[in-house]
Structure 1
Amino acid sequence: MNDSIAYYSDPYFKVFKVPQWRATLYRFLSVKLWGNIPSPTQRKISRLYSSVYDKPISKHIIKPYIRANYSDKQYLEKFKPPFGKTEFESFQDFFIREFREMPTNSSDTVWPCEGLLCDVGKIRDIATTKVKCDERYVHTVFGVAKGEIPRDYTFTNVFLHNKNYHRIHAPVTGTITRIQHIPGDLVILRPWIYKQNPSLPAFRNERVNIDITDSHNRVWYISIVGGPAVGTIELPEKIRIDATIKQLDEIAMFYLGSTCCIAAPKHPCFHQKNTFVEVGASY
C-alpha cells in the first residue's frame, strides 16, 4: 500500500460474537417487528430520533464519546467541522466531520469508506435473500436487471459503525453514469445479528445507488444503504449523471448509521472478511 499516513482513523474494530439465541432475537425484533412497520413511519421515527443529535447541547457528548471509543485521544485533530464551521456545534457535526487533509494513494483503486468489511464474495456466489416472502438476488441491491453485473465481479459490504467516518468517496476516477434512489425499510444494520447473511439489510433498506465508469470502461456499482436513525443520505451538488469524478472526491454523506456495498471489477487485494478498511487505503 502507498497510503500517505498509516491510519487516519482508529483501526480497532471488534467483531461481536453474539450467541445464536441473541442474534435470533435481535433479528426478530429488527426484521419481524420493526421491519413490518410501514417504511414512512420508520423514517419519521428515525428523523425524530436523529434530531436529538442536531441540538446544541449534544456537542457535550463528543469528548466523552471520543474517550470511550478511540485509542487515539488526538483523533479529532485529524478532522474539521463540516460546512466551513469553526467548531463542532452538535454531535451531528462530529458525525459528519470532514478530513483536514485527504489521504493520498498512488493506487488506481481505493476504498471509498471506512468500516468493517463484513461480506465479500463473487457475484455468482452471493446467495439469494428472502424479503417479505420475495426472493431477491444481489443485483436488486444495486437496482439493476439480473445479469447486468458480470458474474465475476466482486461484491463487498462495509458496515460503518457509529464511530466511523461517515462520508463516501469515489474509489476510482471516472464518469458518473447512473444515480438511483430506492425507497425501502430501515432495519438494523449490525452484521453480527444476521450471522450467515450479514448483507440482508442491503437487500431491503432504503438506499442510493451510484455507478462510476472508470477509464477502462468498467462500471463500479456503489450502493449507499441507510439504517435506523438515518435521517438523510446526502449527495454533493456536483454528483450528477455524466459528471467527471476524481478518485477520493466525495460522493455522499450519511446523517447517522450506514453501510456501503460495492460491486467491483476486481477483488480486494489487501483485505478479507471481518477486517477493517478505511478511506483511501488500496482496494
Structure 2
Amino acid sequence: MSLTTALTYALPHRLLSSMARSLAYSDDPRVSRWLIDTVTRKFNVNLDEAANPDPRSYATFNQFFTRALKPGARVADADPRSLVMPADGRISQLGKIEAGRIFQAKGQSFTAAELLGSDEDAKPYNDGLYATVYLSPRDYHRVHMPWTGTLRETVHVPGRLFSVGPAAVNGVPRLFARNERLVCHFDTSFGPMVSVMVGALLVSGVETVWSGEEIPAYGDRITRKDYRGQGIKLERFAEMARFNYGSTVVVLLPPGVAEFAPQLGAESPVQLGQALAKLR
C-alpha cells in the first residue's frame, strides 16, 4: 500500500466533510471570498460560462460551487437517439458489466450489486453497460438526465467518504461501492436506467430536484424511498441533481439497448450534453 493510499484510509473522513460543509455554507464574506478565489485560481474555473460570472455575487461558497450555466453554454446532442453525457468532467471508466462486475482501475473492480445495494437491483444490468464520470472541483456540478425517465425509487447507501481522485481510484479497492451514495432508479422507453451519485471526501451534500438535500444526513443503514405513482418525469438533458462539491456519477444501462459513442474511453474529457451512447 502506498503512503498516499494509507493516508486516504487514515483521514477522519466525516469530520473533514462536516468541517467542509460548515465552510461551504458560511455567509461570512471573508470565508466565502477566500474559498471562491482560491478554488477559481487553483483549478482555473471558467466563470465566463456561468449564468452569474461575478464571483463576488455569491453569498456562500456553496452557491458558487453549484452555480448554473448561462443558457446555451451546454446543448444536448442533436441526434434524438443519443443518450447524453450527464455531467462535465472526465470519463474514469466505461464498458460492459462483465460477470456482474464493474471495472474501476487496473486490478480493481466491484460488483453492480455492491454499488446498487442489492443483488435484485443489479439483475437488470447483468451484461449491460456502465459509465463512470469524475467531476473535478473546476467542473460544473449539476448532474443531468442521460435520457427521459420517470423516477421509480432512490436508495441511500451509507458508507465511507474516501476521496474519488485518481490516486484513490487506483489505490482503494471497490471505492465507488464503499463510499456513501444515492442510487436513483428510473423507468425509460428502453427499460430501467440508474444514475448513482457517489459521495466523497469534503462533499458537503447531494441534492435532487425532486427532494432537495439527500446526503447528509449520514446514515448507518440502507434507506429506500418509493416514488412510483408520483409521476416524477425528467426529460433527457434536464437537471436531476447536484453535488455540493466534486464527486462521481455512475450510469448503468441494461444489455442490448445502446452502444457507447466510439470516441469515448478512459480519461476522455467530456461535457454535459455530448453523446454518451446511441440507442440500437
CA contact (8 A) 2:39 2:137 kept: no
2:240 corresponds to which residue?
251
* Structure 2 gap ranges (5+): 213-226
Q: Is structure 2 residue 44 aligned with structure 1 residue 79?
A: no
Deviations 1:2-21 (A, max 9, x none): xxxxxxxxxxxxxxxxxxx7
Give the deviation of 1:81 after TM superposition.
Answer: 5.0
1:155 corresponds to which of 130, 144, 147: 130
Q: Is structure 2 residue 192 aligned with structure 1 residue 219?
A: yes
Taking structure 1 as reference, are residues 202 and 50 closer, same or farther at Cα in structure 2, changes over 3 Å only? same
Give the deviation of 1:230 after TM superposition.
Answer: 1.3
Give the deviation of 1:116 after TM superposition.
Answer: 1.5
1:280 corresponds to which residue?
273
- Quick one: distance in 1 between partners of 2:119 and 2:177? 14
CA contact (8 A) 1:191 1:199 kept: no
CA contact (8 A) 1:220 1:264 kept: yes
Q: Is structure 2 residue 162 aligned with structure 1 residue 187?
A: yes
1:91 corresponds to which residue?
61
* TM-score, scaled to structure 2: 0.75
For residue 19 of structure 2, give the secondary structure of its aligned residue in structure 1: helix
Give the deviation of 1:119 after TM superposition.
Answer: 1.5
For residue 149 of structure 1, give the secondary structure of its aligned residue in structure 2: helix
**Greater strand share, structure number:** 2
Give the deviation of 1:60 after TM superposition.
Answer: 4.1
For residue 187 of structure 1, give the secondary structure of its aligned residue in structure 2: coil
* Structure 1 gap ranges (5+): 1-20, 130-134
AA of the residue aligned to 1:189 = V
1:14 corresponds to which residue?
none
Number of paired residues? 242
1:62 corresponds to which of 8, 15, 36: 36
Give the deviation of 1:200 after TM superposition.
Answer: 2.9
- Quick one: distance in 1 between partners of 2:205 and 2:63? 14
Taking structure 1 as reference, are residues 124 and 182 closer, same or farther at Cα in structure 2, changes over 3 Å only? same
Report the identity percentage: 23
AA of the residue aligned to 2:86 = P
Deviations 1:161-202 (A, max 9, x none): 11111111111012112211111110111133443x778321
- Quick one: distance in 2 between partners of 1:122 and 1:128? 9
> Following superposition of structure 1 onto structure 2, how do residues 23-62 of structure 1 map, counting pairs within 5 Å?
24-31=2-9, 33-34=10-11, 42-55=13-26, 56-57=29-30, 58-62=32-36
Runs of 4+ in structure 1 deviating by more than 6 angstroms, as ranges, are none
AA of the residue aligned to 2:268 = T
Structure 1, 111-120 or 235-244: larger mean CA deviation: 235-244
1:117 corresponds to which residue?
91
For residue 274 of structure 1, give the secondary structure of its aligned residue in structure 2: coil
CA contact (8 A) 1:167 1:254 kept: yes
Deviations 1:193-214 (A, max 9, x none): 443x778321101100112222
2:260 corresponds to which of 260, 268, 276: 268
- Quick one: distance in 1 between partners of 2:62 and 2:274? 25
- Quick one: distance in 1 between partners of 2:5 and 2:154? 30
AA of the residue aligned to 1:226 = G
CA contact (8 A) 2:96 2:102 kept: no
